[in-house]
Amino acid sequence: MTIKDIAKLAGVSPSTVSKIVNNKDKNINTETRNRVLKIVKEFNYTAYSSMIQSSSAKKFILGVLLKSTSKYSRFIQAILETAQANGYSVLLCDSLNSLTEETKNITMLCKNNIDGLIWEPVNESSLLNEHYFKQKEVPINYMNCPFISNSHHIDFIQMSYDATNELIKHQHTEIACLIKENSVRSEMVIEGFKRCLYDNRITYSDNMVFSSIQSNYSSEILLHNFTAVVSSHYTTALQLRDEFEKSQYKIPNDLSLVCLKDNTCEDLPFPKLSYIKIPYYEFGCFIIRDLIKRCEKNQESTSTFHTNYTVEDTSSIDLPNRIKLQKIIIVGSIHMDRMLNVDELPGPGRTIRSNSSFLSPGGKGINQAVGVAKLNRSAVLIGRVGNDYESTLIYNSLAEHDINVQGITRDSSAETGKAFIHVGKDGESTISIISGANQNLSPQDIQAQSRLFVNASYCLLQSEIPMDTIMETVKSAKKHGVKTIFKPAALESVHNDLMQNIDIFIPNKKEAELLCPHLESLEDKANYFLNKGVGIVIITLGHDGCYLKTREISKYFPSIPLKVVDTTGAADAFISAFAVYLSCGYSLEKAIQVATYAAAFCVNRQGVVSALIDRSSLEMYIKSQEKDLI
């Protein structure tokens, strides 16, 4: 391949090609330069005259000079892959944190007439050798140099800020920062930690920062009653976790923990920790592309590295115990459900065949209790079951979900409630109920369990139990300062006394029509309930989302477009998530949005209890769709 061949392919003169490959192309337009360089790289062309005479000729070799390569495996991988994809070779040098080794590497790189350099200086004295590259007009992309204004870097300050902010979103205010001594990253982590505390009006003091080389640092964290820790390194977070477990403390039950994670730890079988992944690979791609652009277009760098830092895997983050202890009470029906899958729902005078069936604990009481428990909130269920085999299955299921069953009474005079649920192809369902022991849940049962209302935030109620029991529950909740959420399932009318003492009323569209058939619009129906004394009305609309009405707000919320398999548990999933996120301090509108996601996940799967989503999965999905919601 000769210079004439290259010129012919590029549609330019041989002299133009010569100027470009010998870096004498300042007066040649960018489009022509890029076209010629593309062909030169594709055919690995080097002009003979350039090889003999010109040290400034393009060699398509880039230098990478790092202070130490030990922590940069993904960064280096990105550099090599991106350079190769753009027709360049790479000379990788490790200074081993030594100025002497760095100087040797600089000499070698200059002898090889590199086209550009990525340089992480050992320290400020390294810049005394900068003139060697300037003499050869080698463009340099500096990295991790706080003493150079245009140095590229990963924003550890923002990463630390976002990690701290995630803990504050989970209502932590007593937060510690754990660092690794003598680490530049640690200094930036402390700075981000301070800024986040300041922006959230939390007072910072030096005794909030701990070093992993301190003796008994884990005991000190406990002694100061911190509820959460931000760690600058993944390894220090693991050490803290191990120290806590030796002392019989658990993460996240006793302490929430989030760290910055090096990609070198990605495939190691360590216990799960919440983390922000350090984007070494993305940073490597950015900095090498920027350098290639400078080499080929003879321009200064105008961009800085930026990416979104997201906390991944929230399994080691939970609410502080002072908030978790605020339980949610559920007073409602307990059934053993028999699910029947059918092609079409049953109608009068028709016999239909079921494709399959299965048994599962259910009833609105169980469904909502499990929904609350799966979202990491303490759930207390009050209700009645029979003294039969089904009740044993139900107790076992509740124990699996760590639900408090002190409020459940065995009734020797009645069988456990049952529900027969037909689910059609479109996910719609019909339900027939045998109330059984549920019908015997009495006001005296509520009075006997009044201690369970202490330190509760919300009480969830449904109408599949006697009305006088519902009234007693509302009275007890009000006495203990507990807010009530009422679901009027299969109710044809509501007592004015009940409505005046309910905080939040959540019927579906059909239930709203049944309770006030004389009104046409949803807005009028919602106003009707408000005028009865309810503070907040939410009418759920199935695939159309829901409608919120208060004295100040009138707003529709869309549904989440996931495939509908079974709508049976939609309302229970919605209400349990709504209550949990309200109790976590979310605004009314944000709690509704989160609850809409929870309902969508539930109807996306068969059944109810097994289809209710856990908190980690729910929040991970929401962050991928609406990162500012969680």
Over the chain (630 residues), the average pLDDT of each successive run of 10 is: 79 85 80 84 59 60 92 89 93 93 90 92 92 90 89 94 94 94 87 96 94 87 92 92 86 92 60 88 94 81 83 87 84 89 78 77 93 93 93 92 92 91 78 89 94 92 93 95 92 86 95 91 94 95 94 94 86 96 93 96 87 91 88
- Single-letter amino acid, residue 393: L
Q: What one-letter code names the amino acid at 226?
A: F
How many CA atoms are closer than 13 Å to the CA of 133, on its beta-carbon side? 25
* Burial (Cβ within 10 Å: 0-12, 13-18, ≥19) of residue 300: exposed
Listed residue (122, 117, 125, 64) closest to 301, CA to CA? 117
Residues 622, 597: contact at Cβ < 8 Å? Answer: yes
The answer to whether the pTM exceeds 0.75 is no
Angle of helix 280-297 versus helix 73-85 axis, rounded to 10: 40
Longest dimension (CA), the chain: 105
Distance CA 444, CA 394 (A): 23
**Amino acid in the structure at residue 414:** A
Residue showing tokens 């191990």: 242
Q: What is the pLDDT of residue 482?
A: 96
C-alpha closest to that of 290 among 305, 306, 301: 301
For residues 259 and 312, what is the distance between their CA atoms, to the nearest angstrom?
10
Q: What are phi and psi for residue 5, nearest 5 degrees? A: -65, -45
Give me the pLDDT at residue 55, please: 54
Q: Residue holding tokens 């699996």?
A: 400
What's the whole-number average pLDDT of the chain? 88
What tokens were used for 117? Answer: 């350099």
Cis upstream peptide for 252 (omega within 30°): yes
Q: Which of 25, 115, 117, 88 is nearest to 295 (CA)?
A: 115
Among 126, 122, 164, residue whose Cα is nearest residue 144: 122
Nearest to 476 by CA among 465, 464, 461: 461
- CB atoms inside a 10 Å sphere around CB 495: 12
What are the pLDDT digits (tens) for 407-426? 999 999 999 999 888 888 77
Residue 93, strand partner residues: 65
What gap in Å lies between CA 266 and CA 272, rounded to an integer?
11
Q: What is the predicted pLDDT for the residue at 117?
A: 96
Q: Tell me the angle at which helices 615-625 and 588-603 cross, rounded to the nearest 10 degrees.
A: 110
Q: Which of 341, 303, 111, 316 lies closest to 231 in space, CA to CA? A: 316
Q: Burial level of 375, CB count in 10 A (0-12/13-18/19+)?
A: buried
Tell me which long-range contacts 142-149 makes (C-beta under 8 A, separation of at least 24): 143/118, 143/119, 143/287, 144/67, 144/120, 144/184, 145/120, 145/121, 146/184
* Residues 123, 270 contacting (CB under 8 angstroms): no
The predicted pLDDT at position 49 comes to: 47
Residues 6+ apart with CB under 8 A from 265: 234, 235
Give the residue among 100, 231, 240 at the shortest CA–CA distance from 166: 231
pLDDT of residue 53: 44
Angle of CA points 236, 242, 245, to nearest 5°: 145
How much is the CA Rg of the chain, to the nearest whole Å? 33
d(CA 353, CA 345): 10
Q: Are strands 89-94 and 61-66 parallel, antiparallel or unpaired?
A: parallel
Q: Residue 51, by phi and psi: left (phi above 0), alpha (psi -120 to 50) or beta?
A: alpha
**Beta strands 417-423 and 429-434, pairing class:** antiparallel
* Cβ neighbour number for residue 283 with a 10 Å cutoff: 22
CB 475, CB 443: distance < 8 Å = no
- Bridge partners of 143, per DSSP, are 152
Q: Which two tokens stand for residue 321?
A: 């115990």
| Number of Cβ within a 10 Å radius of residue 134 | 9
- From CA 268, how far away is CA 600, in angstroms rounded? 34
Contacts of 211 (CB under 8 A, 6+ apart): 178, 179, 180, 181, 217
Name all domains of the chain by residue range, CATH numbers in brackets: 3-53 (1.10.260.40), 61-151 (3.40.50.2300), 156-278+311-316 (3.40.50.2300), 325-350+359-503+556-625 (3.40.1190.20)
Output phi, psi for 98, to 5 deg.
-125, 130
Q: Give the amino acid at 249.
A: Y
Q: How many CB atoms lie within 10 A of CB 531?
A: 9
**179 vs 163: CA distance, rounded Å:** 14
Residues in the chain, total: 630
For the stretch 466-493, pLDDT in tens is 999 999 999 999 999 999 999 998 778 8
Strand partners, 518: none
**Which two three-digit tokens encode residue 522?**
């949803």
